[in-house]
Amino acid sequence: MEFKRVVITGIGTVNPLGNTVQEYWENLKNGVSGAAPIQKFDASKHKTQFACEVKNFDLELYMDRKDARKYDLYTQYAFASTDQAFKDSNLILEEIDCNRAGITWGAGIGGLQTFFEEVRSYNSENPRFSPFFIPKIIANMAGGLMSIKYGFRGPNFTTVTACASASHAMIEAFNMIRMGKTDIMITGGSEAGVNAAGIAGFNSMKAISTRNDDPKTASRPFDKDRDGFVMGEGSASFIFEEYERAKKRGAKIYAEVGGGGMSSDAFHMTAPDPEGRSAALVMQWALEDANLKVEDVDYINVHGTSTPLGDIAEPKAILNVFGKHAYNVSISSTKSMTGHLLGAAGAVEGLACVLAIQNSTIPPTINHFTDDSEIDNKLDFTFNVAKKREVNVAISNTFGFGGHNATLVFKKL
């Protein structure tokens, strides 16, 4: 079977560093932290009182407030970034064969805020559940509602694989097009876990930073004094399109999707394999899928969560796969700035890869103060300051609870 080529012709985002792609990129390359004291609720009773929240989100740019009441915030974010991406693509809806257009979306949790609010209401003096309770919380609803909005009748499903959700969705969108099943796919991921339940749950796991005295430096990937990740929220969307179709209509092409890999740690519910064996496998398989050699890779946007164990395992996996070339590859964890967007992480970090290719710039890993002797610091982690470099091939790693691993390959066209 001869595979078709897949390119990216539209991008959009709403995340802690900006409500547009341009704003996101400016803050990303300048090393701006999105962390601050939580504004969405009173976090004073929580061990962690800060997060990377979306700021100044103007819902009415994307939907009527009456309709928005039927949607959880994770769906609202999905609509916003997808509206941006669709407009950016310059696609004309009337010229699309909607039977050959679909949506694959990623969400790790779905409507957590709705679930929390409805249960709290039920325990009040006037217990009731909204008729929108179930539609608002289920993780597939963002994709379902977007298919209604755009009239896309092709494949439509949501991947729920914790922090790898968006990456898995994007790999499946890529596969749908290259196998000739669709021509156009909306893909990406969204999450809205910055709420009392989300913060409390991750606090109980001791997974997130408690550096309340200095939120902006709390996310410290690969630093000796890291103490957990910082919660983030938001969305990123892509229009994936079959290359010949995009070329024929004169579309702007941001990058080519080269390939994808998927693996499982088969190790632990939440902890990574300390040797990074399946993290190595997923990168190997992604490069094989893209028909590339390790020497072709210029940039790795790592999972790099700022957790004690994960930040040791991933560099081991990189060295295992790339050997000596690992020292020639630029690496960065943009979670140091955006926080961890959970199910949307692969989308917003995949977007960072595409923008790195477009702008020949490696975004930094900020908040590095002290080397960790358990990490090979000869690797180029792009600490603290962005670096100008031509990027022809970039890969994005995402590793989720349950041992779910996904790696995407992006190429300059």
Q: Is 368 a catalytic residue?
A: no
**Which of 237, 255, 273 represents a domain boundary (last residue)?**
255
**Is 286 domain-assigned?**
yes
* Catalytic member of 52, 163, 168, 353: 163
The residue count for the chain:
413
Domain that holds residue 329: 259-411
Candidates 152, 171, 168, 148; CA nearest to 160 is 168
Looking at the structure, tell me whether residues 149 and 265 fall in a common domain: no
**Which of 255, 287, 306 represents a domain boundary (last residue)?**
255
Looking at the structure, tell me whether residues 132 and 179 fall in a common domain: yes
Q: Are strands 255-264 and 404-411 parallel, antiparallel or unpaired?
A: antiparallel
pLDDT for res 244: 98
Residue 129 vs residues 122, 132, 317: alpha-carbon distances, Å: 7, 8, 47
**Is 309 domain-assigned?**
yes
Helices (H) and strands (E) in the chain, counts: 13, 14
Q: Is 98 a catalytic residue?
A: no
- Is the separation of the CB atoms in 379 and 226 below 8 Å? no
pLDDT for res 270: 86
Looking at the structure, tell me whether residues 371 and 389 fall in a common domain: yes
Looking at the structure, tell me whether residues 116 and 132 fall in a common domain: yes
**Is 145 domain-assigned?**
yes
* Catalytic member of 46, 168, 340, 404: 340
Beta strands in 178-280 (DSSP E): 184-191, 234-242, 255-264
pLDDT for res 274: 87
Structure tokens at 7: 């390119």
User: Hey, is 148 helix, strand or coil?
Assistant: helix
Task: Report how far residue 179's alpha carbon sits from residue 200's, in angstroms, rounded to the nearest whole number.
Answer: 43
Looking at the structure, tell me whether residues 223 and 288 fall in a common domain: no
CB atoms under 10 Å from CB of 353, counted, come to: 23
pLDDT for res 315: 97
* Catalytic member of 46, 303, 368, 404: 303
pTM of model > 0.95: yes
Residue 34 vs residues 155, 162, 186, 225, 393: alpha-carbon distances, Å: 35, 22, 26, 20, 27
Q: Which residues of 231-245 are buried (b: 16+ CB within 10 A; e: fewer)?
A: bbbbbbbbbbbbbeb
CATH code, 166: 3.40.47.10
CB-side neighbour CA atoms (13 Å) of 231 = 26
How many structural domains comprise the chain?
2
Looking at the structure, tell me whether residues 247 and 380 fall in a common domain: no
pLDDT for res 46: 97
pLDDT for res 389: 98
Q: Strand pairing partners for 157?
A: 104
**Which of 255, 289, 318 represents a domain boundary (last residue)?**
255
Looking at the structure, tell me whether residues 249 and 306 fall in a common domain: no
Looking at the structure, tell me whether residues 136 and 78 fall in a common domain: yes
Question: 118 Cβ partners below 8 Å, 6+ apart?
Answer: 129, 130, 133, 137
**Is 182 domain-assigned?**
yes
- Per-residue three-class SS string for 342-380: HHHHHHHHHHHHHHHHHHCEECCECCCCCECCCCCCCCE
Q: Is 168 a catalytic residue?
A: no
Looking at the structure, tell me whether residues 147 and 77 fall in a common domain: yes
Query: Could you tell me the mean pLDDT of each successive run of 10 residues in the chain, 413 residues long?
Result: 95 98 98 98 97 96 92 98 98 97 97 92 82 94 97 98 98 98 98 97 96 98 98 98 98 98 92 90 98 98 96 97 98 98 98 98 98 97 98 98 96 96
Looking at the structure, tell me whether residues 274 and 225 fall in a common domain: no
**Is 361 domain-assigned?**
yes
**Is 1 domain-assigned?**
no
pLDDT for res 128: 84
Report DSSP state, residue 234: E
**Is 307 domain-assigned?**
yes
Candidates 328, 244, 294; CA nearest to 407 is 294
Looking at the structure, tell me whether residues 17 and 145 fall in a common domain: yes
Task: Report how far residue 281's alpha carbon sits from residue 314's, in angstroms, rounded to the nearest whole number.
Answer: 12
**Is 125 domain-assigned?**
yes
Looking at the structure, tell me whether residues 126 and 220 fall in a common domain: yes
Task: Report how far residue 239's alpha carbon sits from residue 25's, in angstroms, rounded to the nearest whole number.
Answer: 18
